[in-house]
Amino acid sequence: MDDAPRVQVPAETSNGNGEVEGSSRPVNGSQPPQEEDSLPDAPNPEPTTPAKNPPLKFLECVSLSPSPLNRRAAPAPMVYPLPSQPGLTSFSFLTSPIVEIVVGQGDNETVLTAHQNLLHDSPFLSELVSNFEASGPRRIHLPNENVEAFGCFLQFQYTRDYSISSTGSPGPDAGAGESANCLLRHAWVYTLAEKLSLPALKNLAHSKIHQVNSTPRGELFYARYVYTTTPADDVTLRKPIARFWASRSHILRHEVEDDFKKLCIEVPEFGFDVLTLVLDKTEKNNQGNGEAGAKGSARKRMRGGS
């Protein structure tokens, strides 16, 4: 006898045609009469029209699932709330003063504007705003910042999302392809978010990086930018890059061998991280095969050929 637990369900009645009312299951033989104290059948609900899909919430940002060709695992979807300034409710920040932000220099100098309260999310920008004189101009100069990245930051502050343009200024190598430019632009936003101490924007840029299917050349230019602009203890971007090249460099380097060699020489941290992962994997495989690593004089004998 099956000892599995039983789940009590409401009693069903036969309609005399070999079926149970409210169900498509056939009746197996004669059914015992219902007990007098059994509960009456629940009334049929009123017919209703199918519910429409609820509209997407304004602040709900869901990351797209990467395609099978994507070489990076996408982070989990995240929700980015509105800026949480004290006393800031709904869109009341729209009543705050307008601030001029001069980004870039020379031919790339661009004047952007934003509501002052939205800048307080960043400690860096908040300190600059606090230095405004009551009767003076409300202007911030950021000559060393990237105009496109800062524009994405402002777009995120207003909409909790941002988009990049593939028709803007090209990246370091226009021949690297559109995917390289996409990777670089999201990396620009990531590094800016780190400087502005905005973890929500940093996480969003990271998730968008994982949605880009790139080329070997594009990956190299992305790696160069990350390794030359992020701190040495960064693991969010550096570690996936090193892991990607450690697992595929034996194949992809043939497509970009000269550029790969140049990057390893000019950015030794990149080459060291990749080599470390390759050696760790080799050592692990040798231990799994029961091979003991050579020690001390054994290494000397191996080098001497004896």
Running DSSP on this structure, what letter comes out for residue 46? P
Do 192 and 278 share a domain, yes or no?
Answer: no
- Cα dist from 216 to 9, 101, 304, whole Å: 60, 37, 39
Do 195 and 261 share a domain, yes or no?
Answer: no
Closest residue by Cα to residue 270 from 305, 227, 235: 227
Say what the pLDDT of residue 64 is. Answer: 34
Per-10-residue mean pLDDT of the chain, 306 residues long, equals: 49 47 42 47 52 37 35 50 49 84 93 94 95 90 95 95 73 65 92 95 94 87 93 90 87 83 94 92 78 51 47
Do 184 and 272 share a domain, yes or no?
Answer: no
Say what the pLDDT of residue 23 is. Answer: 41
Q: Find residue 141's DSSP bridge partners.
A: 102
Do 179 and 255 share a domain, yes or no?
Answer: no
Do 194 and 219 share a domain, yes or no?
Answer: no
Residue at 63: amino acid letter: S
Q: How many residues does the chain have?
A: 306
Contacts of residue 219, Cβ cutoff 8 Å, sequence gap at least 6: 180, 183, 241, 244, 245, 252
* Cα 62 from Cα 296, distance rounded (Å): 55
Do 101 and 193 share a domain, yes or no?
Answer: yes
Tell which of 212, 230, 247 closes a domain. Answer: 212
Mean of per-residue pLDDT scores for the chain: 74
pLDDT in tens, 203-239: 999 999 989 888 888 889 899 999 999 999 998 999 9
Closest residue by Cα to residue 202 from 289, 122, 257: 122
Say what the pLDDT of residue 94 is. Answer: 81
Would you call 52 helix, strand, or coil by DSSP? coil
Closest residue by Cα to residue 215 from 169, 158, 255, 164: 255
Is 55 within the bounds of a domain?
no
What CATH code is carried by the domain that includes residue 85?
3.30.710.10
Is 68 within the bounds of a domain?
no
Which domain covers residue 193, as residue numbers? 74-212
Do 104 and 137 share a domain, yes or no?
Answer: yes
Tell which of 159, 183, 212 closes a domain. Answer: 212
Q: Find residue 103's DSSP bridge partners.
A: 110, 142
Say what the pLDDT of residue 87 is. Answer: 41
Do 136 and 164 share a domain, yes or no?
Answer: yes
Do 286 and 237 share a domain, yes or no?
Answer: yes
Tell which of 192, 212, 232 closes a domain. Answer: 212
* Cα 253 from Cα 257, distance rounded (Å): 5
Which two structure tokens, joined as six digits, stand for 115? 């509501």
Instruction: Write the DSSP assignment of 68-120 as a string of letters.
Output: TT--SPPPPP---PPP--TT--TTGGGGSPEEEEEES-GGG-EEEEEEHHHHT
* Cα 61 from Cα 59, distance rounded (Å): 6
How many structural domains comprise the chain? 2
Which two structure tokens, joined as six digits, stand for 205? 């840029």
Do 141 and 239 share a domain, yes or no?
Answer: no
